[in-house]
Amino acid sequence: MTENMKTFLFLAQKANLGGKPAGAFGSHTHTGEASKFIFDTMEFVFKMDMVNLGPFALKEGLVGLDEGIHACQAYGRAVGKKVAG
């Protein structure tokens, strides 16, 4: 996870986000673990109402392919349903 993301999460913690709907995602060329760390932070530290799909990590090579586009669309729909209640 980048230092900028760590700083953002530290600042976001002060926003009292408990119970708010959320999702975590990322695109990566390496291990892809950052989205899981972000997801876990939002779920267990911030106590946010996370999308049930868990952290979404998309390998960079799939971003422009049909598989990657469909995965992103499905995750976006799941987040939208959570926000809509």
Tokens representing residue 12 in the block = 């976001």
The rounded mean pLDDT for the chain is 82
DSSP 18: T
Is-contact 40 8, C-beta < 8 A?
A: no
pLDDT of residue 35: 80
Of 75, 63, 2, nearest to 38 (Cα)? 2
Better-predicted residue by pLDDT, 46 or 24: 46
For 32-62, how does the pLDDT look when each residue is reduced to its tens digit (9 = 90+)?
678 888 889 999 999 999 987 655 666 667 7
Looking at the chain, the whole-number percentage of residues with pLDDT higher than 90 is 21
pLDDT of residue 36: 83
pLDDT of residue 29: 63
pTM of the shown model: 0.74
